[in-house]
Amino acid sequence: MKPLKIALFSGNYNYVMDGPVRCLNRLVAFLQDQGHEVMVFAPTTDRPACKPAGTLISVPSTPLPGRSEYRLALGLPKAVRAQLEAFGPDLFHLSAPDWLRHSALKLAHRWGAPAVASFHTRFDTYARYYGGAWLEAALTAVLTRFYNRCTHVYVPSVSMLETLQSQGVTSDLRIWSRGVDRIQFDPANRDMDWRRANGVQDHETLVVFVGRLVLEKGLDKLEALYDEAERTGAPIRFLVVGDGPERERLAERMPRAVFTGYLSDAPLGRAYASGDLFFNPSVTETFGNVTLEALASGLPAICADATGSTSIVAHGRTGLIVHNQDEFYAEIAALAADPQRRGAMSQAARAESARYDWDAVMRGLLDNYRDALATDEPPYPGPYAHVPAMGAAGYAESAPSR
């Protein structure tokens, strides 16, 4: 089958490290290894977090108000559109519904190319953490309209698929799960000397939190958990792995917790494996890469009843899904006091992670790409499909040859 040309549009491809960035870069590397061409369009900064996979084209952007570490893309100017047309993509892959992807979606419809979207982040839920809970319903409606104009929408978990369906997304929803590196994340990487060097006693239960230190990750629940452990004097300690705008405040708020900052590669694997339990209180996850990494590392995962987590964690076998978040501490304290139950969960968690193979996940997405290309028409071609359209500068945007 002929190699594909894929245009990928992302709001953050390499300037801040997070789960979607790792996933998208892994995808591009896989596609190139399979002989396909990928051109990525995304904002860039002078100090990126990682070297990008593939060809990265910088698009104009501005710092996001209130979260300046992220950037808001401002669309596709004439020069960038010219590069895209010269590339002649077979398919547009849109990784988030911002202005850049809206511009790309309109262009795909005009050129008659299929546009697929991958769902990585529940942006509509973020409003509740920044004083804008009243905006959530309107944001959900905007996102629903966007996804309903795509040929396929790839979601990482069954629970997220069901949520989008309940919100009115009627496009072809397909599962694009995630994989895990079971060599990097392995109980064999446990290092008791590393624990002791960080002030953790051998008899203490070490609860691990991994993620960007931002409000929407459920940091208030982490703080409440810490307070309860300190109040009761239980032999429970906390390991916080990650960085973000809340780190300084959180470190001051939790003085007996261990803060490592951002970790990757072998140090990250060691941090997971050196813990005893994993805690994920976030209700904004679509999958939860960190939860899967914890399972592979042999850590029972205690998670909020939320999309992603409910698809990964088998309640009572590989961890716990907590419906009432006021019960987080009681559940963790009970597991901390029951090493036999914790050990059985650890073994089951490690075994469960074997189901998530990156190569199979990426090959499945490539099959979905080919299905999208076989679709006769996009779901909402718009009034200018298959005919030249005038760009903002007044020149004809003819469909590139593919």
* Contact in structure between 105 and 111 (CB atoms under 8 Å): no
Instruction: Give the model's pLDDT for residue 336.
Output: 95
- Cα distances (Å, whole numbers) of residue 107 to 152, 388, 399, 400: 16, 10, 9, 11
Residue found by looking up tokens 């790309």 in the block? 104
Instruction: Let me know how many helices (H) and strands (E) the chain has, helices first.
Output: 15, 17
The pairs formed by 302-308 with CB atoms below 8 angstroms and a separation of 24 or more are 302/277, 302/278, 302/328, 302/331, 302/332, 302/335, 303/279, 304/218, 304/221, 304/280, 306/159, 306/282, 307/122, 307/157, 307/159, 307/160, 307/163, 308/156, 308/157, 308/159, 308/160
5-179+358-397 — its CATH code? Answer: 3.40.50.2000
Q: Which is higher by pLDDT, 366 or 308?
A: 366
Can you give 124-178 as a three-state secondary structure string?
HHHHHHCCCHHHHHHHHHHHHHHHCCCCEEEECCHHHHHHHHHCCCCCEEEECCC
**Facing residues of 322 across strands?**
304
Domain 187-353 has CATH 3.40.50.2000: yes
Q: Is residue 384's pLDDT more than 60?
A: no
What is the spatial distance between Cα 85 and Cα 81, in angstroms, rounded to a whole number?
Answer: 6
Contacts of 228 (CB under 8 A, 6+ apart): 329
Q: Is residue 208's pLDDT more than 90?
A: yes
Instruction: Give the model's pLDDT for residue 382.
Output: 39
Burial class (CB in 10 A: 0-12, 13-18, 19+), 199: exposed
Mean pLDDT of 94-103: 83
Instruction: Give the model's pLDDT for residue 186.
Output: 98
**Facing residues of 257 across strands?**
none
Q: Is residue 123's pLDDT more than 80?
A: no
pTM across the whole model: 0.83
Instruction: Give the model's pLDDT for residue 397.
Output: 42
Instruction: Give the model's pLDDT for residue 68.
Output: 82
**Structural tokens at position 14:** 């390499």
Q: Is the dihedral of CA 325, 223, 309, 270 positive or negative?
A: negative
Report the greatest alpha carbon distance in the chain: 71
Angle at 13 between CA 370 and CA 311, to 5 degrees: 65
Mean pLDDT of 373-385: 54
Q: Is residue 183's pLDDT more than 90?
A: yes
**Structural tokens at position 217:** 């990750």
Q: Is residue 66's pLDDT more than 90?
A: no
Q: Which is higher by pLDDT, 18 or 339?
A: 339
Instruction: Give the model's pLDDT for residue 137.
Output: 84
- pLDDT averaged over every residue in the chain: 89
Angle at 81 between CA 78 and CA 83, to 5 degrees: 115
What is the spatial distance between Cα 343 and Cα 402, in angstroms, rounded to a whole number?
Answer: 55
Instruction: Give the residue among 186, 184, 347 at the shortest CA–CA distance from 266.
Output: 184
DSSP class of 315: B
Fold equal for 5-179+358-397 and 187-353: yes
Domain ranges, ordered by start, for the chain: 5-179+358-397, 187-353
Mean pLDDT of 40-53: 93
Q: Is residue 392's pLDDT more than 80?
A: no
